[in-house]
Amino acid sequence: MPSAPLDSAPLDSVPLASVLFVCVHNAGRSQMAAGFLQHLAGDRVEVRSAGSIPGDRVNPAAVEAMREAGIDISAARPKVLTPEAVQASDYVITMGCGDACPVFPGKTYLDWALDDPAGQGVEAVRPIRDEIGVRVAALIAEITEITEIAEITDTDAAPRA
């Protein structure tokens, strides 16, 4: 029995989309969003996060708030935003970096206006965490719906026997 080619992975193992979350320091909002998306979508979505001026470490209050939600982001490290990361992503979601994000055609850009948790305690970070969780769940629904529509369209466009 011949083996399948390496590039013919099952559809359920291929990510539906790639998402890049961007905030200035990549230490709070974008890390929480990446944590939620990874937790909720698993391997169905490729998750990245970056910052225009990355901090030295992830905000401890963000780590604690996410731990309370059952998500561990303690191993995450701030990363610098690069044009390559933007270009490799289907969705680019900014959270306060403004014009620092490069723009490429064919990407979906969203701006989530969220308070910056920098310098705040866990009590102030919880509502920010909760808002991010709601937005990430809506994003997953959008990605899933768009993928289902594309699959239906592709099936309808296929030649009939």
Q: Which residues does the annotation mark as catalytic?
A: 23, 97, 101
Q: Which residues pair with 23 in a beta bridge?
A: 51
- For 109, the token pair is 């850009």
What distance in Å separates the CA atoms of residue 124 and residue 139, rounded to the nearest whole number? 24
- Residue 111, phi then psi, degrees to nearest 5: -120, 115
What distance in Å separates the CA atoms of residue 71 and residue 35, rounded to the nearest whole number? 7
Q: What amino acid occupies position 161?
A: A
Burial of 110 (0-12, 13-18, 19+ CB in 10 A): middle
- For 64, the token pair is 């604690």
- Residue 97, phi then psi, degrees to nearest 5: -90, -10
